[in-house]
């Protein structure tokens, strides 16, 4: 018996269609592309021809998911205008290699520049933090839809020691992510920079450690375990990028801290967090940490409830 596939609700379908209408209108593709005489599909074909090394029509049709007859009509139009040249394929006599002529490149170049200008103007209207948020959301849409269309793939996940550039990345990620998701101001980024600088300046290799998480070769998270006293360690700066969530990395980074602290001879681990960071709190709670202090705290431009947690080893 085949497994049933969950059906999207009416509200979810309406939300997707609403987004499609908004975005296609926003980037000017509902009518002729960016005020030109070309349709969006024709520009997509021009783009591929300009950036590929002599593809065949069947390759274009497959990769662009275009009907063969429709693509053939587009190519005939381009050829009649002198924008496209064909040559026999040495690998298959039934196929022709396609190449934009100089005239074709001259037609495509202003379209590409206009598209770049439109994208730049759209981003220029946003604050820097909003631009980053928009780009991350776009990446997430691509990732989710590609995952839905493809069989699950094995992600390559690893934890490693920090390398040059990693510490700056940790500070940047905390500043950007907490501003975007929780509205923190620059005071929080300054705090993280201070913590990282102290770790580098006072580093005790036998008592302290930092882990950098990578997913598919890209930095995706971090955590620090630092010396608080001879018997107490402190877990700090646990963070994951949005794309790395759901892989169990937060739990794995926390477990590494606990194992290192035990092996080093610490008797207790403490950490400081905020009550609204629910995912992190669940990780700590399931590993035996408990709250020993909670207090209201006006910081980073927010009214927060700060919590101190500890785990006896």
Which of 90-99, 125-134, 180-189, 246-255 bottoms out in mean pLDDT, i.e. has the lowest? 90-99
Distance, C-alpha 255 to centroid of its chain: 25
Calpha distance 257→202 (Å, rounded):
18
Q: What is the pLDDT of residue 82?
A: 93
Calpha distance 185→254 (Å, rounded):
26
Length of the chain: 313
| pTM given for the model | 0.55
Q: What is the pLDDT of residue 132?
A: 85
Q: For residue 156, what pLDDT band results from cuts at 50, 70 and 90?
A: confident
| Percent of the chain predicted with pLDDT > 70 | 91
Phi first, then psi: what are they for 27, rounded to 5°?
A: -100, 5
What average pLDDT does the segment 256-261 reach? 96
Q: What is the pLDDT of residue 1?
A: 36
The encoded tokens of residue 188 equal: 């929080």
Residue 38 has pLDDT above 80, yes or no: no
Burial environment of residue 222 by CB neighbours within 10 A (0 to 12, 13 to 18, 19 or more)? buried
Cα-only R_g, the chain: 27
Residue 289 has pLDDT above 60, yes or no: yes
The encoded tokens of residue 267 equal: 């008797």
Could you tell me which residues are beta bridge partners of residue 303? 298
Measuring CA to CA, how many Å separate 291 from each of 234, 270, 272, 275?
14, 10, 10, 10
Q: What is the pLDDT of residue 148?
A: 66
Instruction: Please tell me which of 35-39, 48-52, 143-147, 157-161 the model is most confident about, judged by mean pLDDT.
Output: 157-161
Query: How would you classify the pairing of strands 96-100 and 84-88?
Result: antiparallel
Q: What is the pLDDT of residue 6?
A: 57
Which of 83-92, 102-111, 188-197, 274-283 bottoms out in mean pLDDT, i.e. has the lowest? 83-92
Q: What is the pLDDT of residue 32?
A: 52
| pLDDT tens, residue by residue, 40-95 | 788 888 888 888 888 888 888 888 888 888 888 999 999 999 999 988 877 777 78
* Stronger pLDDT, 309 or 92, i.e. the higher one: 309
The encoded tokens of residue 185 equal: 């101001």
Q: What is the pLDDT of residue 18?
A: 81
Euclidean distance between the first and final Cα of the chain, in Å?
A: 49
The encoded tokens of residue 15 equal: 């939300």
Q: Which residue has the tokens 């709250």?
A: 291
Q: What is the pLDDT of residue 2?
A: 39
Q: What is the pLDDT of residue 35?
A: 60
Per-position DSSP letters for 221-262, written without gaps between them: EEEEEEESSSSEEEEEEEEE-GGGTTSSHHHHHHHHHHHHHH
Residue 153 has pLDDT above 70, yes or no: no
Give which of 180, 157, 152 is closest to 253, Cα–Cα: 157
Residue-averaged pLDDT of the chain: 87
Calpha distance 15→304 (Å, rounded):
33
Residue 274 has pLDDT above 60, yes or no: yes
What average pLDDT does the segment 271-286 reach? 93
Describe the crossing of helices 68-80 and 40-51 by its angle, rounded to 10 degrees.
70
Measuring CA to CA, how many Å separate 251 from each of 130, 159, 166, 221, 290?
29, 12, 20, 12, 16
């Amino acid at each position: 018996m085949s497994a049933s596939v969950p059906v999207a609700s009416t509200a979810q379908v309406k939300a997707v269609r609403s987004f499609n209408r908004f975005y296609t209108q926003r980037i000017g593709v509902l009518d002729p592309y960016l005020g030109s005489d070309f349709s969006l599909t024709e520009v997509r074909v021009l783009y591929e021809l300009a950036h590929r090394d002599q593809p065949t029509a069947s390759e274009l049709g497959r990769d662009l998911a275009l009907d063969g007859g429709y693509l053939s009509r587009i190519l005939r139009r381009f050829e009649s205008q002198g924008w496209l040249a064909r040559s026999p394929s040495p690998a298959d006599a039934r196929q022709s290699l396609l190449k934009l002529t100089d005239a074709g490149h001259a037609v495509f170049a202003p379209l590409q520049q206009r598209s770049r200008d439109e994208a730049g103007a759209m981003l220029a209207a946003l604050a820097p933090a909003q631009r980053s948020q928009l780009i991350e959301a776009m990446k997430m849409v691509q990732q989710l839809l590609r995952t839905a269309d493809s069989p699950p793939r094995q992600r390559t996940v690893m934890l490693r020691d920090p390398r040059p550039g990693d510490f700056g990345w940790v500070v940047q990620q905390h500043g950007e992510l907490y501003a975007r998701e929780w509205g923190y101001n620059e005071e929080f980024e300054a705090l993280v920079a201070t913590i990282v600088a102290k770790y580098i300046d006072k580093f005790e290799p036998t008592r302290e450690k930092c882990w950098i998480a990578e997913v598919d070769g890209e930095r995706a998270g971090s955590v620090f375990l630092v010396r608080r006293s001879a018997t107490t360690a402190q877990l700090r700066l646990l963070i994951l990028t949005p794309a790395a969530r759901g892989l169990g990395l937060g739990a794995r980074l926390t477990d590494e801290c606990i194992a290192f602290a035990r092996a080093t001879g610490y008797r207790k681990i403490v950490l400081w967090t905020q009550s609204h960071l629910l995912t992190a709190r669940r990780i700590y709670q399931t590993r035996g940490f408990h709250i020993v202090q909670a207090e209201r705290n006006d910081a980073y431009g927010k009214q927060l409830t700060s919590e101190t947690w500890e785990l006896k080893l």
